Amino acid sequence: MEREWEKIYADLRRRFAASAVDQVATAAALVRSLEIGDGGPRLGDLRTVLHKLAGSAGSYGYDEISRLSLDGELVCKSMIESGRTVDADVLERLRTVLAALESEVATPALPERAR
Amino acid sequence: MKVLVIDDDPQARVLLRRSLEILGGLAVIEADSGREGARLAVSERPDCVLLDANMPDWDGPETLHAIRATDEGAAMSVIFVTGASSEDEVARLEALGVTGVLKKPFEPRSFVAAVLALTSGSRSAQHGESKEHEAL
């Protein structure tokens, strides 16, 4: 059972790593749409994408992707709950998170527990 | 034991399914929405429902309400799975009358062990107390 699980878990992680690239690309596109003033629902969409990524990435052992996604999600959550409009400072924070995520998914670190 | 996984995230569903099947020896059925999950809870009568708390359309609490409103689901074992980072949100979910609350992200082995422990307790006590487990 243990050997079977290790093999399957490794395969699931590979698939997740591939899909994370697409999810981060979706999040980056949403941040770009915020840059051109298309706010409102886009911020909720961005929060949803980052929320899922935070949960799944951590469960697949990609802790840094999970941590960065949670950082971005909390920025979105704070803005949504405050009702404030997205300003230059918030955009910069989201751009920073997305740049780090893009770098991370390009070469995701091997999960600690898989070593 | 048959488990119904309700989660809109396919990446989460596949990991839950495979870990529950292989590490827990459980039979797993899936739903990608609260509406579909509530329907399957009635037609499939699983021993336990793993319910994502945060979903579009029907979220976890709405889905739980729909399940509880049926004869088949009134006393069904339901465990929330949540990515909520605040303890207040976890406490709010626990107060809804579920078998337990498990957190995302999770480590698969610990998560399966927590599901088995919670469902074992709920089967022996029929209506066991809600418990939060750190499945990490």
- Chain A, residues 8-67, CB within 8 A of chain B, namely 8-9, 12, 15-16, 19, 48, 51-52, 54-60, 66
Tell me chain A's radius of gyration from C-alpha atoms. Answer: 15
pLDDT higher than threshold 50 for residue A24 = yes
- pLDDT tens by residue, B6-52: 999 999 999 999 999 999 999 999 999 999 999 999 999 999 999 99
Q: With bands split at pLDDT 50, 70 and 90, how would you rate the model's confidence at A39?
A: low
Per-residue pLDDT tens over the stretch B91-130: 999 999 999 999 988 999 999 999 999 998 766 554 434 4
Has residue A58 got a pLDDT over 80?
Answer: yes
Complex ipTM, two decimals? 0.81
CA of A1 to nearest chain B CA: how many angstroms apart? Answer: 7
pLDDT above 50 for A48: yes
Residues of B in contact with A81 (CB under 8 A): none
Interval A75-114: pLDDT, tens: 999 988 888 888 899 999 999 999 999 999 988 665 555 4
- Helices (H), ranges, chain B: 10-24, 34-44, 60-68, 87-94, 108-125
Cα B61 to Cα B33, B39, B42, B97: the distances in Å are 13, 15, 17, 10
DSSP helix, strand, coil percent of chain A (3-state; round to 5): 85, 0, 15
pTM of the model: 0.85
> From the candidates B8, B15, B32, which should be mutated to test the interface with A, based on the most A CB atoms within 10 A?
B15
Q: Is B84 helix (H, G, I), strand (E, B) or coil?
A: coil
